[in-house]
Structure 1
Amino acid sequence: MSFGDPNNPYGQQPPQGGQPYGYPQQPQGQPGYGYPQQAPQGVPPQAGYGYPQQPGQQYPGYPDPHQQMYGGRPPYAHWGLRFLATLVDGLVVMVAYLPMVIGAAIGSDASRAIFTLISLVAIIGVAVWMLVQEGRTGQTIGKKALGIRLLREVDGRPLGVGMAFVRRLAHFLDSIACYLGWLWPLWDSKKQTFADKVCSSVVVKG
């Protein structure tokens, strides 16, 4: 009498597909656990389990507002635009001198003192306001009128109020060498003054 296969004494049929009993069965067409899931064709993969995060990846349709389309960065502002912007800022500050002129025209000592004080307060107020605007937005009244902006060279962001103030002080370097630093943007590849180089700042269009 034959009892069948000695390795299979109970006569059980092996499962189809060649997988022995005791192993987890995987549905056909489904990848096993621990493998990254494949996104459907035509659908971009979502960052999640099994996919490494891409550093510095930006969402499409949301470009950096300071990165204009000019080779990945905005073009540098030439010397003429910078000069005209400075001229406009100077005219704005000169308006603050009007009370002093009016006081001098009136003639009395008391009126001159009052209008001089008004002018000093106005001059300081305008200077501080433009410094804050330049630090936070990169634009004074003159720069905004000419369509240029002061930014950090490293990342294209505004300098901040503190660094904008340091840059104002650094303009001393532009003046001590016979004002050569103010003319340096005429031939410099990045259109920078000496103060810009010290503070790692650039003036760009946009």
Structure 2
Amino acid sequence: MSYPPDPNNPYGQQPPPPGYGYPQQAPPPPGYGYPQQGQPQQPYGYAQQVPPQPGYGYPQPPGTIQANNGYISIANLGTVRIATMGQRFLARLLDYIVTSVIVGIAMAAGLAGAVGLSDKATKDCTVYDAGSTAWNDCLDSNTQAGTNIVLAFFGLLAVIAVFGLLYEWLLVGLAGATIGKMALGLRVVREHDGQHPGVGGGFIRFIIPMVGNLLCGVGTLLVYLSPFFDNSGKLQGWHDRAASTVVIKK
């Protein structure tokens, strides 16, 4: 097949037909080596960056349960271990022993004082003639002494009750632990910042089990067993949830 001469070709050589003598190159597939329109362009020669998984390398939000069972992330404390129910039971048992010893000493001292007061105040009225003024005065004196002894006994009970209130409430609220918890290395902290519960939080945490005593102690037992019903992994009892606290092992 002949071609008309090209006026721009002084030698009269015919150009080869398109593709003659050269392999045909297929156009690159879409996206190969070139950014597509409408997509953000990445620098050529650099690996694509994969966004990090949530939580990887970053601090966890307060109250986040870690992958390891029994650990929790708390602000200002980092990752800490949740106290087990066995540890909490032993701590409460130690608290019961401590408070029982203190209350027993106070009761013994109070009763000894009451007996001594009764011996000194009570008079033998038989030495007076029955119906006489001296006899009546003696009886009145003995009655008053008995009343004072009863009042002293109830006053002692009130002091013991206040001690029980302040022991659990203030020690947990201000120090984060009772004597039993301190002995086992346990601490009660606020879930959102890791600080002590404070006076308000300590009172809420204390009063809820005490209200359970109105049900003959069954309510208190349920409150102390309620961490078993917590499916969040934090072992929070009803009193812990109300006060936004958790019990941790230092």
Does residue 179 of the first structure (1) align with residue 186 of the second (2)? Answer: no
Whole-Å Cα distance in 1 between the matches of residues 103 and 75 of structure 2?
33
Provide the residue aligned with 1:196 in structure 2.
Answer: 240
Alignment equivalent of 2:169, drawn from 131, 134, 147: 131
Q: 1:124 offset after TM fit, Å?
A: 2.5
Whole-Å Cα distance in 2 between the matches of residues 176 and 93 of structure 1?
21
1:158 match: secondary structure: coil
User: Which of the pair has more CA radius of gyration?
Assistant: 2
Provide the residue aligned with 1:142 in structure 2.
Answer: 180
Whole-Å Cα distance in 1 between the matches of residues 239 and 156 of structure 2?
32
TM-score (structure 2 length as normaliser): 0.46
Contact 1:131–1:140 (CA under 8 A) maintained in structure 2: no
Alignment equivalent of 1:157, drawn from 195, 219, 233: 195
Contact 2:91–2:184 (CA under 8 A) maintained in structure 1: yes
Q: 1:103 offset after TM fit, Å?
A: 4.5
Contact 1:93–1:127 (CA under 8 A) maintained in structure 2: no
Q: 1:99 offset after TM fit, Å?
A: 2.9
Provide the residue aligned with 2:139 in structure 1.
Answer: none
Equivalent position amino acid for 1:86 in 2: R
Whole-Å Cα distance in 2 between the matches of residues 120 and 185 of structure 1?
31
Q: 1:84 offset after TM fit, Å?
A: 1.3
Q: 1:151 offset after TM fit, Å?
A: 0.6
The alignment of Structure 1 onto Structure 2 pairs a total of residues equal to 139
Whole-Å Cα distance in 2 between the matches of residues 197 and 182 of structure 1?
12
Does residue 96 of the first structure (1) align with residue 103 of the second (2)? Answer: yes
Q: Identify which range, 88-97 or 152-161, moves more after superposition.
A: 88-97
Contact 2:110–2:156 (CA under 8 A) maintained in structure 1: no
Q: 1:109 offset after TM fit, Å?
A: 7.0
| Segments ≥4 residues shifted beyond 6 Å | none
User: In 2 relative to 1, CA 107–135 (structure 1 residues): closer, same or farther, beyond 3 Å?
Assistant: closer
**Gaps (5+ residues) in structure 1?**
1-63
Q: 1:184 offset after TM fit, Å?
A: 2.5
2:83 match: secondary structure: coil
**Gaps (5+ residues) in structure 2?**
1-73, 119-148
Report which of the two has the higher share of helix.
Answer: 2
Whole-Å Cα distance in 2 between the matches of residues 205 and 80 of structure 1?
12
Alignment equivalent of 1:87, drawn from 70, 85, 93: 93
Alignment equivalent of 1:167, drawn from 197, 205, 223: 205
Contact 1:96–1:122 (CA under 8 A) maintained in structure 2: yes
User: In 2 relative to 1, CA 173–190 (structure 1 residues): closer, same or farther, beyond 3 Å?
Assistant: farther
User: In 2 relative to 1, CA 118–177 (structure 1 residues): closer, same or farther, beyond 3 Å?
Assistant: closer
Equivalent position amino acid for 2:243 in 1: C
User: In 2 relative to 1, CA 99–119 (structure 1 residues): closer, same or farther, beyond 3 Å?
Assistant: farther
Whole-Å Cα distance in 2 between the matches of residues 100 and 116 of structure 1?
11
Whole-Å Cα distance in 1 between the matches of residues 207 and 241 of structure 2?
13
TM-score (structure 1 length as normaliser): 0.54
User: In 2 relative to 1, CA 161–99 (structure 1 residues): closer, same or farther, beyond 3 Å?
Assistant: same
Q: 1:86 offset after TM fit, Å?
A: 1.3
Provide the residue aligned with 1:110 in structure 2.
Answer: 117
Coordinate RMSD, CA, aligned = 3.3
Equivalent position amino acid for 1:185 in 2: P
